[in-house]
Amino acid sequence: GDSVTQMEGPVTLSEEAFLTINCTYTATGYPSLFWYVQYPGEGLQLLLKATKADDKGSNKGFEATYRKETTSFHLEKGSVQVSDSAVYFCALSESSGATNKLIFGTGTLLAVQP
């Protein structure tokens, strides 16, 4: 079945460092891809998405490009802030599915130190 694999955490960075969180997927069709973020004590929030190959999703300085050839959707940010500390989840949804359920990776904890 469909699955998402993302890099293990925690990832600890200093403020203004460059961030990459790797995500790869396995899917039979042409999924949509997402990054969700969970701040401490809060629910999952959509950070960005891409619905087809070569699309780039971006929001709040974060970017991810849908790479069909490498089945990847890596999350990047050029300069992280302390306020970016959170758990980041990569997810996919089969666009052809009736319910558009989300399939998540395990999550990556990012800790940004001042």
Partner 1 sequence: EPEVTQTPSHQVTQMGQEVILRCVPISNHLYFYWYRQILGQKVEFLVSFYNNEISEKSEIFDDQFSVERPDGSNFTLKIRSTKLEDSAMYFCASRSGSSYNEQFFGPGTRLTVL
The reply to whether 46 sits near partner 1 by the rule CB under 8 A is yes
The reply to whether 52 sits near partner 1 by the rule CB under 8 A is no
The three state secondary structure string of 23-50 is EEEECCCCEEEEEEEECCCCCEEEEEEE
Report strand pairing: 75-77 vs 3-6: unpaired
- Which CB atom, from 36 or from 80, has the smaller least distance to partner 1? 36
> Which sign, positive or negative, has the C-alpha torsion 56, 46, 85, 90?
negative
Selected from 77, 84, 107, 110, the binder of partner 1 by CB under 8 A is 107
Interactions with partner 1, residue window 64-93 (CB under 8 A): 89, 91, 93
| 3-state class percentages of the chain: helix first, strand second, coil last, to nearest 5 | 5, 55, 45
Each residue 14-33 as x (binds partner 1 by CB under 8 A) or -, in order, gives ------------------x-
Distance separating the N- and C-terminal Cα atoms of the chain: 41
| Minimum CB–partner distance for residue 68 and partner 1 (Å) | 17
| Minimum CB–partner distance for residue 12 and partner 1 (Å) | 18
Note the residues at the interface with partner 1 (CB under 8 A): 32, 34, 36, 41-46, 49, 51, 89, 91, 93, 95, 97-107
